[in-house]
Amino acid sequence: MTAPISPVSREAIVRAAILLRAGRLVAFPTETVYGLGGDATNARAVADIFAAKGRPRFNPLIVHVQDLAEAETYAVLNAPARLAAARFWPGPLTLVLPRRHGSGLSLLASAGLDTVAIRAPAHSAAQALLHETGRPIAAPSANRSGRISPTEAAHVADELGDDVALILDDGPTPLGLESTVLDLSGEAPALLRPGAVPLEQLTELLGPIAASGSSAVKSPGMLASHYAPSLPIRLDVIDARPGEALLAYGPDAPTGFAEMLWLSRSGDLAEAAANLFAMLRQLDRPSFSGIAVMPIPEHGLGRAINDRLRRAAAPREY
């Protein structure tokens, strides 16, 4: 049976919290993308998240908390972590930190690692849900593993509707790109996933930040192929090929495409980020031969947009 979609309201939050405390899964909006939530202290619920997504068990989940004080109960925060949390929480920054022993978090949530990824989301519905549930919520993006992250409740219903008890709907997510994942568990800060907090802002606060080198072990979610639509993706496109649809960026788009959607006509990276996943879904139709994407500048949010596009275009690993 397909899960009910409930617009966010006080009643819907209360109902969702009851379901979560009973070990059921609830999809909910955050400022980045929709999450597939389960009680992070309930190993059974966490196992159900992996099963619903078809996610490899070695790929750990993000634990969502209300604030810094709650994060301290599950993880050990050093000075840079407190600084980053004070500046960016609640918000789209995930910190990878040493796990605190005996905190009650399911080991499976962090895939057996001795670190845990934590973030305090800024979305009012996510905050209300965390508050009402009174538990940390483990939540990956609410898509099948390897597919495009959902920025609307209908995207969740399409892919995971049979596996969740309830989908909370608050319309399109404002940022549209996942959180930035920053590893502060080692000697020096390392960027594991570019995301909605631009690298430049982190560097300004913390000094130089190492690139993860997309080490498969360090951030297991960063497989080369991810965010994959069904159609082939072609990047940095300036000329049309027969039957292709175009994702355009900036005022001057090439012509000759079967269809065109504008990520941002004014060249606004925040607008492009918010549109990216929904537009990729929209163009992913068998009537086109492929999806072509114009060049996106590699700075600020462009870094995260290009990261997702490169993964969407990478040879499929499954």
Applying CB under 6 A, the residues found at the interface with ligand TXA are 30, 32-33, 35, 59-62, 92, 94, 96, 110, 113, 115-117, 139-141, 178-179, 181, 192-193, 218-222
Nearest approach in angstroms of CB 197 to ligand TXA is: 10
Closest to 29 (Cα-Cα) out of 94, 126, 120, 122: 126
User: At residue 171, what is the residue type?
Assistant: G
Is-cis flag, bond preceding 172, omega within 30?
no
Alpha helices in 40-176 (DSSP H): 43-53, 68-74, 79-88, 124-133, 153-160
Tokens representing residue 40 in the block:
């992070």
By CB under 5 A, name the one of 42, 141, 212, 219 that touches Mg ion.
141
Nearest residue to Mg ion, by Cβ distance, number only = 141
Radius of gyration for the chain, computed over Cα atoms and rounded to the nearest angstrom: 19
With residue 259 as reference, give the H or E element that holds it. strand 259-264
String marking each residue 250-289 x if it binds Mg ion according to CB under 5 A: ----------------------------------------
Question: Between residues 24 and 123, which has the closer beta carbon with respect to ligand TXA?
Answer: 123
Strand 137-138 and strand 35-39: pairing?
A: antiparallel
Distance of CA 7 to the CA centre of its chain: 21
| Part in contact with Mg ion (CB under 5 A); list of ranges 125-133, 139-147, 251-259, 299-307 | 139-147
Nearest approach in angstroms of CB 53 to ligand TXA is: 8
Closest to 183 (Cα-Cα) out of 110, 123, 121: 110
Distance of CA 92 to the CA centre of its chain: 9
- Coil, strand, or helix at residue 273? helix
When CB distances are held under 5 to 8 angstroms depending on the partner's kind, the choice from ligand TXA, Mg ion, none that residue 173 binds is none
User: At residue 211, what is the residue type?
Assistant: A
User: At residue 137, what is the residue type?
Assistant: I
Q: What is the DSSP letter of 9?
A: -
Nearest approach in angstroms of CB 297 to ligand TXA is: 22
When CB distances are held under 5 to 8 angstroms depending on the partner's kind, the choice from ligand TXA, Mg ion, none that residue 192 binds is ligand TXA
Question: Between residues 211 and 295, which has the closer beta carbon with respect to ligand TXA?
Answer: 211
Nearest approach in angstroms of CB 2 to ligand TXA is: 21
Question: Between residues 77 and 116, which has the closer beta carbon with respect to ligand TXA?
Answer: 116
With residue 97 as reference, give the H or E element that holds it. strand 93-98
When CB distances are held under 5 to 8 angstroms depending on the partner's kind, the choice from ligand TXA, Mg ion, none that residue 275 binds is none
Tokens representing residue 215 in the block:
């080490």
Nearest approach in angstroms of CB 96 to ligand TXA is: 4
When CB distances are held under 5 to 8 angstroms depending on the partner's kind, the choice from Mg ion, ligand TXA, none that residue 139 binds is ligand TXA
When CB distances are held under 5 to 8 angstroms depending on the partner's kind, the choice from Mg ion, ligand TXA, none that residue 61 binds is ligand TXA
Nearest approach in angstroms of CB 108 to ligand TXA is: 12
Nearest approach in angstroms of CB 258 to ligand TXA is: 31
Tokens representing residue 176 in the block:
């549209």
The residue ranges that bind Mg ion (CB under 5 A) are 141
